[in-house]
Structure formats: structure tokens, C-alpha cells
Structure 1
Amino acid sequence: MGYPDETYPGYAAPLVVKSHRSGRVASGLARFGLVPAWAKDDKISRYTYNARSETAAEKPSYRAAWRQRQFGLVLVDDFYEPSYESGKAVRWRIQLDSGDPFGIACLWDRWQEPDTGAWVVSFSMLTVNADEHPVMRQFHKPGDEKRTPVIIAPHLHDTWLSADTEQATRLLTWSHMPELVAMPAPLIRPSNQRHDLSRSAGAIP
């Protein structure tokens, strides 16, 4: 199965999750932008692609996923943030110094499409403050709080997927993240690369 080169909110990305009952690890495509199980439609996903880790346990969109320990890893090669050092927004690419793919901590949920009954799996990336991060502190508008998605170090992948809420809270920090590098990158507008998310949802328990 081919994945899109770039994923935007509402589009598909590869997600890894683990069943707390059976211990089975599964992967599949999921929508970028969490749609909570209680939502009447999927429009909320426009606003739920990032979840602040400090408040995820309390926010209506995320608290059920948090309490049910629906912790996942979205697999990426890199991600993008705007730099304003030139006075205007310039997109930069952030990746591991090693160049390896990596997993970003996320919350995930299942939502049933009212008209078709199809199940859609979706996720939100978890973020933390990055005011002191050596790379991530340079992004976003001057004066705005700096944030970074939480990259889970490879040796902690299973710990994260299996975590209880206390363990998850301890892992939501950039202190264990691998070293990052950043570089300017031109913007590529999204093409029509929407995958059939209802078909991929069956791969995730």
C-alpha cells in the first residue's frame, strides 16, 4: 500500500496501536485529525490534528481516548513548521539527525459514519512546550508559545503503546527525543490522495 508523500489534516497516515487486552500490535491508515466517538459528523477533525498533552485528559475531544489509554504512534519521515526569521512564514522540514523514520505520540479513536455505518480510525498528535528545545524553539510567530510533537524514542515505543496514563504523562516530554535537524522546504500543495479510511480501520483493534 502506498502512502502519500505529505499528509495534511483530513488525510491518511500510517498509525500503529496496541491492544491492551491481547497485546497485539496492529497498523493501518488513519485520518489525521481525531474524530471522537460521540461526534455527529467528522468536521471536528479540522481542529483536532494536534492535542496539547497538558490538557488532553480534560478536553472533551480527547479525554475518552486518554482514559482508555488509546496511545498510538504515527509513522513519519519528517514534519513541517513555519519559521518567521525572515519576517514572513517560510516552511521548514524537521527530521531526525540520523535521517531515520520515527514515531510521533498520538491519541486515537474510532468513529462510526452515520450514513454508511463505516468505522473510521483517526488520531491527534500530542504536543508539548518547546520554548527551550534547541531546534523547535525557532518556529512559529515571534511571541507565540513554541510547541513540538512528541517523538517517542525507538526503545520506548512499546512502553508508550502499553502505557497507563501516569506512564504516558511521564513520556510526554522532549527530553528523551532523538536529535533533530531542520532545513527550509518548499510548500507542495496536497493532491487528491484521500485513502478509503473505512477499509483500513479493520486493521486496528
Structure 2
Amino acid sequence: MCGRYRRSSDKQTIATAFQVEAGLDEVYLGPEDDIAPGSVQPVILLNDHGERVVEQMRWGFKLPDRLLFVARSEEILEKPFWKDRFAQRRVIVPADSFFDWKQVQKGAKPKYEFTVPGREPFGMAGVWSPWKNPKTGQWERTFAIVTTAPNEVMVPIKDRQPSVLEVREYAEYLERTERPPIHLFRVLPAEELRANLVGPIPEPPCEPGLFDNL
């Protein structure tokens, strides 16, 4: 997943799909057709009162040499950087679809849009953490999307895909428990994922340093 997705800009659609209880009035939902790492996006989490709320966070953990905007599910309990965040700081990222580019040796890379039919929006698993912006001196909250191995639909195009949660799993994923819900990171069944060719569109760069302007 190089880092593009699409979501609804309708607050009520998101509130209904994720049973949000608070925070909608403070959230601005801007352009949603080509969401990129480094941008500020709405996510779902629990507040200190245990209510399910919407909050805006920046997509990506800014390190000195790169931006980490995805977390591999296989490493989330092995690497301290992810383990500490996954333990108590989990979010759900609303999306209507996500995009990726097929790797080809020659010519323009075909761009695909992936949807989960019957579930718009669906929820991608994520983790978050506070981050102090060195340019503004202000603290922000940042998040990353968890990825899994690909299913049969995704394999011909890319070797990773977002971890998509079932609706019935939203509460368990957000709940603060002593035992993190690692079992919810599973590969989405192929019959639940649809790939649609968008066209030969240039793939955005994903190399370190791309977001140094943050």
C-alpha cells in the first residue's frame, strides 16, 4: 500500500457506520478522493469517558529520515515502536476504497481502486501517537494504517493490503484491554474485495524524505 485512499465527506454517514457518539462538530471533512500520507484525516477512537468519537489526526509518524504511514501486522508486537502504540492507542480509519499500483517492468503502472462491496465506509485498523511538530512547536496526534499479507485479489498487484475490520469487531478493537487484539489482523477474504482498474496513472513516490516539508 503506497498510500492513497478515498472516504465519504458526509459526517452523518461516518457517524452512523461507526456509531460515533461525539466529536462531529469539531471535525472538518475536506477533499476525500485522493487522500495522501501527511494529510490530516478523521479517525475513530475512544475518549477518556469511553465514548466513540471522531478526531482529526495527521496520517504518518514523522521520523528524521522518513514518514511511517503503515505498520505491518506481523511486526506490531515485535518492534517497540509499534508495540507501545498498539497496546493502548488504537484507531479505526474510515474509507470507501483504497488505491494501489501494479508493479510492471515497462510502461505506465496500472492504478487500481479496491472496494469492499456493501460496506461504504469500511474501517481500516490503525494506531496513533502524539507528535511534536518541530516547525510549529505544537503537539499533534498522528496515525498509521495496519497492513496484512495480500489475498488472492491483491497478489497480482501488490504484496500488502490494509487490515479491514468487520463491523462487529469495531468495539473490541477500540476497547482498552491488557491483551491487545492482535487476532483481528487477518487477511480480508478474496470474495470480499473487488479490484477496479482506474487507468495508467503515475504512482506517487513513497521514498524517505518525501514529507520533509511537514
Taking the TM superposition and a 5 Å limit, the aligned residue runs for 1:8-87 are 8-19=36-47, 21-35=48-62, 43=64, 46-67=66-87, 69-84=88-103
Give the TM-score of the pair, scaled to structure 1. Answer: 0.73
Taking the TM superposition and a 5 Å limit, the aligned residue runs for 1:180-191 are 180-186=193-199, 187=201
Cα distance change of structure 1 residues 172 and 24 upon mapping to structure 2, 3 Å threshold: same
Aligned to 2:155: 137
The count of corresponding residues between Structure 1 and Structure 2 is 174
Return the match for 1:162 from 175, 196, 203.
175
- Contact 2:95–2:120 at 8 Å: present in 1 too? no
TM superposition shift of 1:113: 2.5
TM superposition shift of 1:162: 0.8
Unaligned runs of 5+ in 2: 1-27, 205-214
- Contact 2:163–2:188 at 8 Å: present in 1 too? no
Which deviations, in whole Å up to 9, do the C-alpha atoms of 1:102-135 show, x marking residues without a partner? Answer: 11001111112345442211111111112xx131
CA distance in 1, matches of 2:61, 2:190: 24
Percent sequence identity is 24
Give the TM-score of the pair, scaled to structure 2. Answer: 0.70
Unaligned runs of 5+ in 1: 36-41, 141-145, 191-205
User: Secondary structure of the residue that 1:62 maps to in structure 2?
Assistant: helix
**Matched letter for residue 153 of structure 2:** V
TM superposition shift of 1:61: 3.3
Structure 1 runs (4+) greater than 3 angstroms displaced: 84-88, 114-117, 163-167, 175-178, 186-190
User: Secondary structure of the residue that 1:94 maps to in structure 2?
Assistant: strand
TM superposition shift of 1:138: 2.0
Cα distance change of structure 1 residues 23 and 124 upon mapping to structure 2, 3 Å threshold: same
TM superposition shift of 1:64: 2.1
Is residue 151 of structure 1 aligned with residue 164 of structure 2? yes
Which deviations, in whole Å up to 9, do the C-alpha atoms of 1:82-116 show, x marking residues without a partner? Answer: 12479552110001122511110011111123454
**CA RMSD in angstroms, aligned pairs only:** 2.7
Aligned to 1:172: 185
